[in-house]
């Protein structure tokens, strides 16, 4: 089979106006952003986002493994499959970050016969949205230091600033820094840090905002630190939010592209699910739901990460719960959680190990890890369809035991999916199962049931997520985190949603606790207030909000030839 890059380059990209028209969007509603990509104008968004909504399908997964489970492939493939069986469907996915593109992942536009195009543009700078978020975030950082340099009228306490800087790359050397060196002309010397742009509160605000007015309000409500008297100080207090909003004016508009089969696809926003809430934008969802009967969206990493945050953060802001959850799983992921490849989550087994039949390991992994993921999602009152993403090395016995385990765990349906090798045709059974699940859910009254209401205190929300979804015995809040939580409460933010930042490889805080671990406590080392986004981040265990590059970075294998063609990129 051709590589992903070869398949993408061989594809014939349709005019973006033709793609838009498939959703009833006229060319006068588009803001062209180059070949094969466009933004949707603000005038169009204002008119369309108030129209009746279609069905929303959330694609999630078991805990990810080093060899990948193909969740984005399933998302794009299901979109193609729904169109293949005669349904009007589109997808809404997140924009790739330069961190994973040049780090270990190497791209996030799908793969095989289920990709979005233009793939190379999407994986690189795309329409510049992440750069706009980076600039808006760092503008606030620079205005904080400038305010203190020129009189500090707001009496900002330089030792109590909680607003970091960001960059859209992996760089562990920037996790802890000192700024203001070089004398008084360069500002006040203080400790600072960099996060990756995907973890920025500005990114979270961009994807959770409902319109320009709400975007501007949220930016102004960002708490950057405290005054000398202990009161909170916001971005509006130092006059930064207006200019930040201007930098995000174009970035707020959703991006329209296409799948390999010429189906419309939206790509907008890019928060990670392990250190942020991991979902695409509300405004793109609303637009898609106003133009299609079925909208497929994807939550990052496993269901304990992006899907949980979809249910408890995104739904709170959008008032739109999913009509169906698709649980993506592979034979090889269940082998890992069943102990076939040892006890280290990040270990990359050999090709021979992966392809060796091991029915017992598949069964053990499915009856622990997959079982908990299915039962967790069923708790929200939403139907769960399991999609087994088939690889060529999977044996019939392995596939059979995996399907049986999924049904025993309560899946509403289980489908074998081959969208990587066959495109939409390879997902026909999944598409039909999703249609049935959505129709049944709507007919039964859409009984969405979160684990808590909006007024539940932060620590109680964290406890319920830890015990009911992760399987922990409880939470252990460090002294530092307890002080931070007390301050957050004193400022009036004690009932915000909680965004758990933890490893994606395990239900626990420890990446090597595979399967469905029990008998542990979740350590909360920090609470970080994201008042503009409207949630509090609970930092668990050793998770970092600025990733580092691996020993052999994907960037080391990338290059450009004399004609400007990319070499060794994205497969």
DSSP 206-224: HHH--SHHHHHHHHHT-EE
Helix (H, G, I), strand (E, B) or coil at 36: coil
Q: Check whether 513 has a pLDDT greater than 70.
A: yes
Q: Check whether 546 has a pLDDT greater than 80.
A: yes
Q: Which residue would you say has higher pLDDT here, 89 or 352? A: 89
Spell out the domains of the chain, with CATH numbers in brackets.
Answer: 4-126+254-443 (3.40.50.300), 129-247 (3.30.1510.10), 458-540 (3.10.410.10)
> CA dihedral in degrees (55, 59, 60, 64; nearest 10)?
-170
Task: For residue 446, name the pLDDT band (cuts at 50, 70, 90).
Answer: confident
Mean model confidence pLDDT for the chain: 94
Q: What is the pLDDT of residue 83?
A: 98
Q: Check whether 256 has a pLDDT greater than 70.
A: yes
Report how far residue 81's alpha carbon sits from residue 211's, in angstroms, rounded to the nearest whole number.
32
Supply 423's token pair.
């495109």
E-assigned strands of 138-285? Answer: 156-161, 165-167, 177-179, 190-192, 194-196, 223-227, 232-234, 255-259, 264-267
In Å, how far from its chain's centre is CA 159? 32
Q: What is the pLDDT of residue 571?
A: 57
Closest to 406 in 3D by CA, of 363, 435, 376: 363
**pLDDT (average), residues 227-253:** 98
Report how far residue 252's alpha carbon sits from residue 249's, in angstroms, rounded to the nearest whole number.
6
Let me know: does 305 contact 274? Beta carbons within 8 Å. Answer: yes
Q: What is the pLDDT of residue 53?
A: 84
Report how far residue 93's alpha carbon sits from residue 298's, in angstroms, rounded to the nearest whole number.
6
Q: What is the pLDDT of residue 1?
A: 72
Q: Phi then psi for 192, rounded to 5 degrees? A: -150, 180
**pLDDT (average), residues 498-507:** 96
Angle between helices 201-208 and 129-149 (to 10 degrees): 130
Question: What pTM did the predictor assign?
Answer: 0.96
Kindly calculate the radius of gyration of the chain based on its CA atoms and give it in whole angstroms.
Answer: 23
Residue 169, exposed/middle/buried by CB under 10 A (0-12, 13-18, 19+)?
buried
Report how far residue 110's alpha carbon sits from residue 121's, in angstroms, rounded to the nearest whole number.
13
Helix (H, G, I), strand (E, B) or coil at 336: helix
Q: Which residue would you say has higher pLDDT here, 411 or 52? A: 411
At 86-95, the pLDDT tens digits run 999 999 999 9
Q: Check whether 104 has a pLDDT greater than 80.
A: no
**pLDDT (average), residues 527-535:** 97
E-assigned strands of 276-412? Answer: 294-298, 324-329, 384-389
Report how far residue 566's alpha carbon sits from residue 357's, in angstroms, rounded to the nearest whole number.
37
Q: Phi then psi for 180, rounded to 5 degrees? A: 85, 10
- In 150-281, where does DSSP find H-type helix? 201-208, 212-220, 241-247
**pLDDT (average), residues 127-153:** 97
Let me know: does 89 contact 82? Beta carbons within 8 Å. Answer: yes
Helix (H, G, I), strand (E, B) or coil at 53: coil
Q: Check whether 198 has a pLDDT greater than 60.
A: yes
Report how far residue 418's alpha carbon sits from residue 425's, in angstroms, rounded to the nearest whole number.
8
- In 37-108, where does DSSP find H-type helix? 42-48, 71-84, 98-102
Report how far residue 114's alpha carbon sits from residue 76's, in angstroms, rounded to the nearest whole number.
6
The conformation of residue 168, written as its DSSP 8-state character, comes to S
Q: What is the pLDDT of residue 569?
A: 67
Report how far residue 136's alpha carbon sits from residue 269's, in angstroms, rounded to the nearest whole number.
14
* Residue in the block written with tokens 């904080």: 144
* Residue in the block written with tokens 């649980």: 327
Helix (H, G, I), strand (E, B) or coil at 159: strand
Task: For residue 351, name the pLDDT band (cuts at 50, 70, 90).
Answer: confident
Percent pLDDT > 90 in the chain is: 85
Percent pLDDT > 70 in the chain is: 99
Q: Phi then psi for 341, rounded to 5 degrees? A: -115, 20
Report how far residue 112's alpha carbon sits from residue 236's, in angstroms, rounded to the nearest whole number.
47
Report how far residue 44's alpha carbon sits from residue 123's, in angstroms, rounded to the nearest whole number.
26
Beta bridge partners of 114: 111
Q: Check whether 250 has a pLDDT greater than 70.
A: yes
CB-CB neighbours of 449 under 10 Å: 10
Let me know: does 498 contact 535? Beta carbons within 8 Å. Answer: yes
Supply 103's token pair.
């780090």
Q: Check whether 558 has a pLDDT greater than 90.
A: no
Let me know: does 101 contact 107? Beta carbons within 8 Å. Answer: yes
Q: Check whether 106 has a pLDDT greater than 70.
A: no
């Amino acid at each position: 089979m051709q590589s992903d890059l070869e398949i993408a380059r061989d594809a014939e990209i349709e005019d973006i106006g033709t793609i838009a028209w498939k959703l009833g969007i006229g060319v006068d509603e588009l803001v062209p952003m180059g070949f094969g990509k466009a933004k949707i104008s603000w005038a169009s968004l204002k008119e369309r986002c108030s129209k009746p909504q279609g069905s929303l399908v959330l694609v999630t997964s078991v805990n990810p493994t080093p060899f990948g489970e193909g969740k984005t492939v399933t998302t794009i493939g299901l979109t193609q499959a729904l169109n293949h069986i005669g349904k009007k469907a589109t997808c809404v996915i997140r924009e790739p970050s330069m961190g994973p593109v040049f780090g270990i992942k190497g791209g996030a536009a799908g793969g095989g016969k289920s990709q979005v195009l233009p793939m190379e543009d999407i994986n690189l700078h795309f329409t510049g949205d992440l750069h706009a978020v980076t600039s808006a975030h760092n503008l606030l950082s620079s205005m904080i230091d400038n305010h203190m340099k020129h009189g500090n009228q707001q009496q900002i306490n330089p030792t109590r600033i909680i607003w970091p800087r960001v960059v859209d790359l992996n760089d562990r050397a920037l996790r802890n820094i000192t700024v203001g060196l070089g004398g008084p002309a360069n500002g006040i010397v203080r400790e600072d840090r960099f996060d990756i742009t995907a973890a920025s509160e500005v990114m979270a605000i961009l994807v959770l905002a409902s319109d320009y007015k709400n975007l501007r309000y949220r930016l102004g409500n960002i708490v950057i630190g405290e005054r000398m008297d202990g009161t909170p100080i916001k971005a509006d207090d130092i006059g930064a939010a207006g200019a930040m909003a201007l930098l995000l004016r174009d970035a707020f508009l959703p991006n329209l592209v296409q799948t390999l089969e010429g189906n419309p696809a939206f790509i907008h926003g890019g928060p990670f699910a392990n250190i942020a809430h991991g979902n695409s934008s509300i405004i793109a969802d609303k637009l898609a739901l106003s133009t299609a009967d079925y909208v497929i969206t994807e939550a990052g990493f496993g269901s304990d990460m992006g899907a949980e945050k979809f249910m408890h953060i995104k739904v709170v802001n959008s008032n739109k719960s999913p009509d169906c959850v698709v649980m993506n799983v592979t034979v090889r992921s269940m082998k890992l959680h069943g102990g076939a490849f040892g006890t280290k989550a990040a270990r990359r087994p050999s090709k021979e190990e992966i392809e060796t039949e091991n029915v017992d390991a598949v069964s053990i992994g499915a009856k622990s890890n997959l079982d908990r993921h299915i039962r967790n999602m069923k708790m929200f009152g939403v139907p769960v369809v399991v999609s087994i993403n088939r690889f060529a090395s999977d044996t019939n016995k392995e596939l059979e035991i995996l399907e049986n385990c999924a049904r025993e765990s309560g899946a509403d349906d289980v489908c074998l999916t081959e969208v990587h090798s066959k495109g939409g045709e390879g997902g026909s059974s999944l598409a039909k199962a999703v249609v049935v699940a959505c129709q049944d859910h709507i007919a039964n009254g859409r009984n969405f049931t979160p684990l808590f209401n909006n007024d539940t205190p932060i620590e109680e929300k964290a406890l319920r997520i830890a015990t009911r979804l992760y399987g922990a015995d409880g939470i252990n809040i460090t002294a530092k985190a307890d002080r931070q939580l007390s301050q957050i409460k004193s400022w009036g933010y004690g009932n915000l949603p909680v965004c758990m930042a933890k490893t994606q490889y395990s239900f626990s805080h420890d990446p090597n606790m595979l399967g469905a671990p029990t008998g542990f406590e979740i350590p909360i080392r920090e609470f970080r207030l994201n008042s503009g986004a409207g949630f509090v981040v609970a930092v668990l265990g050793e998770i970092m909000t600025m990733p580092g590059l691996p020993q052999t970075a994907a960037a080391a294998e990338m290059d450009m030839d004399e004609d400007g063609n990319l070499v060794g990129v994205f497969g």
